Amino acid sequence: SRSIDLAVIPGDGIGGEVVAQGLKVLTAVLPQDVKLESRSYDLGAKRWHATGETLPDGELESLRGHDAILLGAIGDPSVPSGVLERGLLLKLRFAFEHYINLRPSKLFPNTATPLAGRPDIDFVVVREGTEGPYTGNGGSLRTGTPAEVATEVSLNTAYGVERVVRDAYERAAARPRKKLTLVHKNNVLVHAGHLWKRIFDAVGTEYPQVTTDYLHVDAATIFFVTQPERFDVIVTDNLFGDILTDLAAAVTGGIGLAASGNINPTGAFPSMFEPVHGSAPDIAGQGKADPTATILSVALLLDHLGYGAEAARIEAAVAEDLAARSPGKSRTTDEIGDALAGRVSG
Ligand code: IPM
Ligand code: MN
């Protein structure tokens, strides 16, 4: 019989509230014969205050044994900026080689967006997840003095770039429009930019069916707003992908709907699914957070584990739910979770 062994990291702020709704919908959508086991991990701001730990080795080891990880949100104003981000979230992405950070954008019905009514916005950003300026490769000299110097070096390896570019071509080849756009800034970042472009072109010869395009990141931000229907699959580095996917969320329905998957396609490590949004401490504990992004992240998780039909049912339920909601009438976190759980089990 089939089973899913899930690790859950609720994390900080609204993390616990949205993850509870994600689990509710997951339970509702799974067929009877699939056994769902989950273990919750107490990681985040509270743990750090209590013990000084962000992600102890023992917990990392134990997380490795699960089929997948569902994460709520990490970060709290009471913890110095970077401690939890680097010590927990990025540590997980790096340790489990989540080299694909998958962030789809669709224009759902009835959403507050500057692009409402525009046709056919359906693209996915394949953001590199383990390299770029995120590796912590840098330092500072003469810290705190007027002569301070700080560097933050972007690390790009041929191996790391090729594996994400290849994955993006595979995804583009599997979609109806078969178009892949590389976003970088190779007119200025000539070292990394040319490495990316060379590999992009070389791998492209193996995918003659995929149409390719290249955009500098600044120009890409214009097209995200003025002509987002031109995009199908986008591949880009870790930092450009971080920025572009917040913009993508904002123009296609808001950060409350944006889902993501930190994926290791080889299956050597568990992949991790999380909403693109953060812990929103200002609204934590009030039942105000929209759990839809987490619920759509559960759909990505199911798709990754081979439950494509169940993933599609969640997506359809979200589209129906958004189309049916009354504008101006806000619902609680729980009410949205209940509505979606009802639609997927019905
Ligand atoms: C995201 C977040 C993270 C990132 C932060 C919290 C480290 O902004 O998932 O997009 O920059 O990747
Ligand atoms: Mn981000």
pLDDT in tens, 264-302: 999 999 999 999 999 999 999 999 999 999 999 999 999
Weakest mean pLDDT among 114-118, 161-165, 217-221: 114-118
Which one of 76, 167, 232, 242 is the catalytic residue?
242
| pLDDT surpassing 70 at residue 346 | no
Question: 63 is written with which tokens?
Answer: 């997380």
pLDDT band, residue 110 (cuts 50/70/90): confident
Ion ligand 2: residue ranges with CB closer than 5 A: 242
Query: Would you state the pLDDT for residue 94?
Result: 98
238 CA to middle of ligand 1, Å? 10
Query: How far is it, in rounded angstroms, from Cα 154 to Cα 42?
Result: 32
DSSP secondary structure letters along 135-196? G--EEEESTTSTT-EEEEPPB--HHHHHHHHHHHHHHHHTSSS-EEEEEE-TTT-HHHHHHH
pLDDT, average across residues 74-92: 97
Percent residues over pLDDT 70 in the chain = 99
Average pLDDT of the chain? Answer: 96
pLDDT, average across residues 65-89: 97
Domain assignments of the chain as residue spans, ordered by start: 1-98+264-346
Residue 87: DSSP 8-state: I
pLDDT, average across residues 160-165: 98
pLDDT, average across residues 29-58: 97
Q: Which CATH number fits domain 1-98+264-346: 3.30.300.20, 3.40.50.300, 3.40.718.10, 3.90.25.10?
A: 3.40.718.10
pTM check: above 0.90: yes
| pLDDT surpassing 90 at residue 113 | no
Query: Would you state the pLDDT for residue 116?
Result: 78
Residue from 71, 76, 88, 90 to probe ligand 1 pocket by mutation (most atoms less than 8 Å from CB):
90
68 CA to middle of ligand 1, Å? 19
209 CA to middle of ligand 2, Å? 32
**CA distance readout (Å), 35 to 2, 30, 277:** 6, 9, 29
Query: Would you state the pLDDT for residue 111?
Result: 82
Residues with CB under 6 A from ligand 1: 75, 85, 89-90, 242, 276
